[in-house]
Structure 1
Amino acid sequence: MRQDPLGNPPGNRRRGIGGGLRWLILIGFAVYGGCYYFGNRAVDPYTGEKVLIDKTLDAEGEKALGLQAYQQIMAQERPVDPDAQVARQIRAIAQRLIAKVDVVETALATEHGQPPNHFSRTFDWEVNVLQSDQANAFCLPGGKMAVYTGLVPVARNADAMAVVMGHEIAHALLRHGAQRMAQQKLTEIGQMAGAAGGMDAQQQQMLMSAFGYGYLLPYARSHETQADEVGLMLAAAACFNPEEAVPLWERMGAASGGQAPPEFASTHPNPGTRIQNLQALMPKAMEYRQRFCETAQAR
């Protein structure tokens, strides 16, 4: 049996080349992922934190994605008559919150030493009420909003409803959808790198699970915490009582029946953590109410 001059058995040279090629591919993916990550970082004026948002996704592109999703949802759901009392009340709350977006963004940006970017000024705001038992609401990129009728008995009053709606609006203002899309792209790069590196499906799944628990889920929970803060400031600035946030989330926790997963395995903080955070924010929220609530708006 022939051996090479160094005495290696046949096939070793080929495997060495293959291993070297895999390393080159992995390095290539790492460079690509690093370039994508560092090349698409920006400072969020609402939080002062650096966030990952694909620079190719501008306001119009984000609005288009939000509109497409909204149209799909509206085609499947049952909107309440726009002239119904609950629909008119929800729209009135939304209008008051939206009217305070600019001043709250400017105030928060100033706190973080950043200029406001007023990204939402091009939003085409719209709000509908959907007939459903879900105690939920959403605001998509571009300002398309909906509140499910199941939220009304849990909220109980306009102040608590404003806290929830402010939270959902904040997700759109903070561009959390765009951030999740960028994170998904990084995840896909990691999956491709794992496949190119010779990982089997089970190993890739284990890696993605570790990445999810160690990074993606905490990242999602931080989005919820950010939206809680910005939404609370919006509600306060719009003359709603931010103190209703605590009993609201107590009721939301009770409504879930204790079925939520442990916090480390969830995209949301547990109700206890959320309430603690909101209580810590209450002095700031009351300050915003005093600064920005106009007498004519107050009830």
Structure 2
Amino acid sequence: MLSRSILRSSFRALPRILPRPLPRTPFPRVFQQPTPLNTFRFASGRGPRPPRIKHIRYNPEEVERARPLISEEQIRNGFRHPGTTLIAVVLFSGGVYFYVSNLETVPVSGRRRFNCYSEERVKEEGKMMYRMIMQQDKDAILPAWDPRTRMVERVMTKLIPASGLEHVDWEVHVIQSDEANAFVIPGGKVFVYSGILPIAKNDDGLAAILGHEISHNLAQHAAENMSRYVLLEPVRWVFIFLDYAGYTGGIGRFIGDILMDLGMMRPASRRQESEADYIGLLMMAKSCYDPNEAVKVWERMEKFQRAAGNSIPQWLSTHPSDSTRIDAMTKWLPSAEEARSESECGVTLGYSKEFQAATGGPDIWSSLFR
């Protein structure tokens, strides 16, 4: 008992150890309070329970009672508002001015069209496409010494002066492929797939194909296509708005895209292709190539497409049918022959015709060397 009393008195004599109050600081009080630590459940060996996720159940009744962000009454009131008419007049006037100020004439054909993209902007788009093709087909590009590459370069050398695009940095690539295709990217990057060379058959046939592709660059059809999307995008948004407002049952955008594609985009593309056929025909004629070979090329192309089963109705295609092209080129042949006779090779052609007439024509010479 004595020992316990002595201990109690000694502990009472010791100063009590109390936590010191935090000093006053200009910081908010929340920074002065100690942050509570997460308590772990050591008995189970697991950490703190994750927060419970509240699962939202689908309730069809609530969906039916849901209101749209914009009601039909709000839309009607918006159209009836006096300021709406003023906004519509300003937008329409601005659109007309923008359209008229960007009208221009296509070289050679003389067609009037809308184009709001500059040549430099289109070249930048062409550079991206060029890098993509070079990366994709880098192992299939034929070397410069290959006879097929030399054939394409030989024809291009004669076509470029007649195109008036000597300032363009031309670059020719022939790709080993069974695909019968050729195209020219804006900026003068020429790609020819070897599968089209048997259809071309000779330099004159290849000139008809390459003249067509160069004509797309000369007429700036790529810029025209990009500009067409600028005009059609507001129309597309009208169908999207009608879908959102519930007027078309959710299929207005789908119907609008089909109507714009079949009714505007594809016919415009076919018009561009026919225009490139005409310009290319005159271009190859001015380069001293035989324009009659262009008709033969599309006759061979028609047979190739029919054998491959690629024939589709013209109204579904972005290109005119081969028969339509053949008929059109046959009508253009007199103009092409006239352009050929007026070119630098006209004198040589005149001497050649006089020589053939004096010697009995080409049939006699061909019979001698059979």
The TM-score range, normalised by the shorter chain, is 0.7 to 0.9
Matched, 1:204 2:253: yes
Matched, 1:65 2:125: yes
Matched, 1:93 2:155: yes
Which is worse superposed, 223-232 or 191-200?
191-200
Residue 217 (structure 1) shift: 1.5
Residue 263 (structure 1) shift: 0.9
- Does the aligned pair in 2 maintain the 1:80–1:130 contact within 8 Å? yes
Tell me what 1:172 maps to.
217
Deviation track 1:101-123 (CA, whole Å, cap 9, x = no partner) reads 13xxxxxxxxxxxxxxxxx4542
Unaligned runs of 5+ in 2: 1-70, 353-370
Tell me what 1:264 maps to.
315
Return structure 1 stretches of 4+ with deviation > 3 angstroms. Answer: 11-15, 18-21, 23-36, 196-201, 295-299
- Does the aligned pair in 1 maintain the 2:118–2:223 contact within 8 Å? no
Matched, 1:248 2:310: no
- Does the aligned pair in 2 maintain the 1:79–1:129 contact within 8 Å? yes
Tell me what 2:204 maps to.
159
Change (3 A) 1:190 1:85: same
Residue 162 (structure 1) shift: 0.6
Residue 295 (structure 1) shift: 7.2
- Does the aligned pair in 2 maintain the 1:263–1:270 contact within 8 Å? yes
* DSSP 3-state at the match of 1:283: helix
CA–CA distance in 2 between the matches of 1:33 and 1:49?
A: 21
- Give matches, 1:24-173, under 5 Å: 33-54=95-116, 57-77=117-137, 78-102=140-164, 120-173=165-218
Which is worse superposed, 70-79 or 286-295?
286-295
CA–CA distance in 1 between the matches of 2:344 and 2:338?
A: 10
Alignment-mate amino acid for residue 159 of structure 1: D
> In angstroms, what is the RMSD of aligned CA positions?
2.7
TM-score by length of 2: 0.67
Greater C-alpha Rg: 2
Tell me what 2:57 maps to.
none
Change (3 A) 1:284 1:45: same
Alignment-mate amino acid for residue 72 of structure 1: M
CA–CA distance in 1 between the matches of 2:261 and 2:88?
A: 21
Matched, 1:226 2:292: no
Q: For CA contacts below 8 A with separation 6 or more, give which structure has more relative contact order.
A: 1
CA–CA distance in 2 between the matches of 1:125 and 1:297?
A: 28
For residue 324 of structure 2, the aligned residue among 267, 270, 273 is 273
TM-score by length of 1: 0.81
CA–CA distance in 1 between the matches of 2:72 and 2:329?
A: 62
Aligned residues: 270
Alignment-mate amino acid for residue 273 of structure 1: T
Tell me what 1:236 maps to.
285
* DSSP 3-state at the match of 1:230: helix
Deviation track 1:255-275 (CA, whole Å, cap 9, x = no partner) reads 112522211121111111110
* DSSP 3-state at the match of 2:338: helix
- Does the aligned pair in 2 maintain the 1:91–1:127 contact within 8 Å? yes
